[in-house]
Homo-oligomer: A and B are copies of this chain.
Amino acid sequence: MALVSGGLDSAVATAIARNDGHDVIALTFDYGQRHRIELEAARRVSVSLGVARQIVAHLDLDLVGGSALTDEIDVPKNRPLIDSEAEIPITYVPARNLIFLSYAVALAEVHQASQIVLGVNAVDYSGYPDCRPGFIEAFQRCAAMATRVGVEGNAVRVTAPLMEMNKSQIIRRGLDLGVDFSLTHSCYDPDESGLACGYCDACLLRKQGFASAGAPDPTRYVAGVS
């Protein structure tokens, strides 16, 4: 089972799992994200990577709020990219990966999936606490104690194949595996037609990644941005 958000990282993580010979169930969360274009991207990515099926799970994170990704808070633009130990950005959604992974563990047990593949990485990840290796390890220990399969000695494994890669390495690996990045969406603040803003953290990281990888950036930006 792979968490597919519609973004670049989860597409590459899923492509790696497919390339390793795994049948993959794509799991996408519809959590009321402002950038709904992500959900369409997740569908296209799942189809293009030949997953066995895609499950879209509805999660009501409106109550959690407090984030520029779900609330009407301005997404920061054109700020210096922060390093991995820096402050947590306003786009942080409290405990989001914890909630997503908990749900994924339940679904993995039901669908007898032995592994959950996650596209997080600790290098270019914009300071989210629940993208760190320590969190993934702690979660796995916890999940093993929360489930029937875990108690029976067959705990679902959580793997984050991109954890030690930077954006440029992720893009190169994706290109090697034939990932069509034009299907993916990263921007936190797209316009109504889905064009990327070019200046939020996600756009800046993505642009920098394609530049460092020496690969053309297939992203469609709003007029005047390249």
A interface residues with partner B (beta carbon < 8 Å): 55, 57-61, 63-66, 88, 92-99, 101-103, 105-107, 109-110, 129-130, 132, 134-135, 138-139, 141-143, 145-148, 150-151
Q: Among the listed B109, B129, B141, B151, which residue makes an inter-chain contact with A147, where contact means beta carbons less than 8 Å apart?
A: B129
Complex copy number for this chain: 2
Tell me what chain A mostly uses at the interface: helix, strand, loop, or mixed: helix
Are the C-beta atoms of A148 and B92 separated by less than 8 Å?
Answer: yes
**Residues A106 and B98 in contact in the complex (CB < 8 Å), given A88-B151, A147-B129:** yes
Query: Shortest Cβ distance from A107 into chain B, in angstroms?
Result: 6
Are the C-beta atoms of A66 and B110 separated by less than 8 Å?
Answer: yes
Are the C-beta atoms of A148 and B135 separated by less than 8 Å?
Answer: no
Are the C-beta atoms of A110 and B139 separated by less than 8 Å?
Answer: no
Subset of 25 A-B contacts with CB under 8 Å: A55-B63, A58-B60, A63-B107, A64-B106, A65-B110, A92-B148, A94-B107, A94-B147, A95-B105, A95-B109, A95-B147, A96-B106, A97-B146, A98-B102, A98-B106, A98-B147, A99-B99, A99-B102, A101-B102, A102-B102, A130-B145, A130-B146, A130-B147, A135-B146, A138-B138
The residue among A66, A94, A107 with the most chain B CB atoms within 10 A of its own CB is A94
Query: Shortest Cβ distance from A134 into chain B, in angstroms?
Result: 5
Chain B residues near A151 (CB-CB < 8 A):
88, 129
